[in-house]
Structure 1
Amino acid sequence: MKIMKIAALGAVFAAQFTLAQFKQTPLPYAYNALEGSIDAQTMEIHYSKHGAAYAANLNKAIAGTPQEKETLIKILSETSKLSPAVRNNAGGHYNHELFWTILTPEKNTQPSAKLAKAINETFGSLDAFKEKMSKAGADRFGSGWAWLSVDKNGKLFVSSTPNQDNPLMDIVEEKGTPILGIDVWEHAYYLKYQNKRADYLSAIWNVLNWKEVSKRYEEALSKK
């Protein structure tokens, strides 16, 4: 009887461990830290409800499948073979985990010299890049994301994807390593901006964490 109880407890522990495979990282600032650009209520709902749901639902979707033992990047690279639930929630979890980090209450951060040079060479100027990125978000019909990514040749490109897709997925047309992603789902901005997505896209540059984007740029290049 004691052995059976121990085995049962072990099974429960294993199930709990499996369901905790993917977790949210703690938000690196207070909910109200981005006020003026993103309001506290939006940040709290976005992080504690939407973000948390993607992590929880991803763990449920991969329970009992080989994906339980795979990295998130690996899962994203094979979404064409996986269920819509895995695709949507793996994308949602990855996208939001990136999104939290590329925002900051620190004022006037700037791209590294290396990233600034690449932006100027690719888009003409930082302002021209911001315009192109904002347009990608504004033109995305319905829900989705705007991305700055590094392609297989180490070059920068701007793209947008629907829903929770991203450039790491094997199903997208423009593939690469995302270093900056802007959420244009309505839950990211509607409480403050209502239907004025363009205003949200303009304001988000005030809280962009260029230090993090620059770090991700270096990491993406190191893998080429």
Structure 2
Amino acid sequence: MESAYRTSILNWCAEIEQTWKSVRDQLDVDETKRAKWEKDFYAFKQEVEENNRFLQDVELQRSASHIYQSLSSFMTGNNESSEPHQEEVGSGVPIGGHTLPPLPYPYDALEPVISEEIMRLHHDVHHQGYVDGLNKAEKKMQEARTKGDFDLIKHWEREAAFNGSGHYLHTIFWDIMSPDGGGKPSGSLLAEIKRSFGSFDAFKKHFSEAAKKVEAVGWAILVWAPRAHRLEILTAEKHQNLTQWDTIPLLVLDVWEHAYYLQYKTKRGDYVDNWWKVVNWPAVEKRFEEAKKLKWEPF
């Protein structure tokens, strides 16, 4: 009998295959690398379809993550090339071609902090819905440009903002959690947290209280502010409202009810307090090291 995670990976393979077929000939990628990716992907897909019992869920996750990262590097142009500035050019994600990234661990990996049932619904249903909504909005706006008919452009811009923000924040959210998480960050991130907030405990208290007090549904977000040259804590209602532009998210916490209600019911505070046990600080540190390279003139 297939595990729920394997079923999810099968569905993910079907989506990735569809995306690959639609963009394959548009990508400016060496044919040898393109052929190797195809070979690796279809071999992986066959192993999942055959329900290879020698592959554990964690091994499936590693393989799926590698395949997804390779495809992403093709689509963004972040691959080795003899052409100058190749990394800056890239093909990007085609209009309406966003895909659901694979969950970077089995569904039950974050228990008891976050239940398997919540992770399945949250990733496979809710996040997929944001991907689908973003793709539809992008295609509708493309259609509007082609026809010169912008009567519904306000609606589709709102849909793109809501679903696009939902997709991008959730993609960060999965990566900044880990079954081996918890504790404190280290190195330059910890130093910057102390500089920006006074201490790690002061930061954690501020972030937790902000998350608990988000009105209705939304997020708490630790960001790097390139203009201020420091870290800030922001909140967002829904995914995109009442937050701040020109900042880079580093650590995000989803406080929509679908993220915790099945397990914690009305006790959002307990969910927030327990969530710190699964924070993947190395992933946050990696994001910070890249983000801090961007600095605008301070005003």
TM bracket (short chain) = 0.7 to 0.9
Given the alignment of the two structures, is residue 61 of structure 1 paired with residue 105 of structure 2, yes or no? no
State the 4+ residue runs in structure 1 displaced beyond 6 angstroms.
Answer: none
Q: Which has the higher relative contact order, 1 or 2, with Cα contacts under 8 A spaced 6 or more apart?
A: 1
User: Alignment partner for residue 100 of structure 1, among 145, 155, 174?
Assistant: 174
Structure 1 residues 215 and 109, CA gap change in structure 2 (3 angstroms): farther
Shift of 1:24: 1.4
Structure 1 residues 223 and 175, CA gap change in structure 2 (3 angstroms): closer
User: Alignment partner for residue 23 of structure 1, among 92, 99, 119?
Assistant: 99
Q: Is the 8 A contact 1:109 1:209 kept in 2?
A: no
Given the alignment of the two structures, is residue 146 of structure 1 paired with residue 220 of structure 2, yes or no? yes
Instruction: Tell me which moved more, 183-192 or 108-117.
Output: 108-117
Structure 1 residues 154 and 37, CA gap change in structure 2 (3 angstroms): same
User: Structure 1, unaligned stretches of length 5 or more?
Assistant: 1-12, 68-79
Aligned to 1:10: none
Matched residue of 1:195: which SS?
coil
Matched residue of 2:292: which SS?
helix
Give 1:53-132 correspondences, 5 Å limit. 53-66=129-142, 83-108=157-182, 110-132=184-206
Structure 1 residues 174 and 58, CA gap change in structure 2 (3 angstroms): closer
In 2, Cα distance between the equivalents of 1:155 and 1:123? 10
Shift of 1:137: 0.7
User: Alignment partner for residue 160 of structure 1, among 235, 244, 263?
Assistant: 235
Give the AA of the match of 1:145.
Answer: W
User: Alignment partner for residue 219 of structure 1, among 270, 274, 290?
Assistant: 290
CA deviation profile, 1:58-109 (whole Å, cap 9, x unmatched): 1011105359xxxxxxxxxxxx996211111001101100100000001445
Aligned to 2:36: none
Larger Rg, first or second structure (1 or 2) = 2
Structure 1 residues 201 and 115, CA gap change in structure 2 (3 angstroms): same
The alignment's TM-score, normalised by the length of structure 1, stands at: 0.80
Matched residue of 2:233: which SS?
strand
In 1, Cα distance between the equivalents of 2:155 and 2:293? 28
User: Alignment partner for residue 253 of structure 2, among 182, 193, 208?
Assistant: 182
CA deviation profile, 1:92-128 (whole Å, cap 9, x unmatched): 1011001000000014454131011111111122121
Shift of 1:19: 7.1
Shift of 1:223: 2.5
User: Alignment partner for residue 208 of structure 1, among 268, 276, 279?
Assistant: 279
Q: Is the 8 A contact 2:141 2:156 kept in 1?
A: no
Q: Is the 8 A contact 1:119 1:126 kept in 2?
A: yes
Equivalenced residue count is: 195
Q: Is the 8 A contact 1:19 1:60 kept in 2?
A: no
Aligned to 2:122: 46
Matched residue of 1:127: which SS?
helix
Q: Is the 8 A contact 2:234 2:243 kept in 1?
A: no
Identity of aligned residues (%): 37
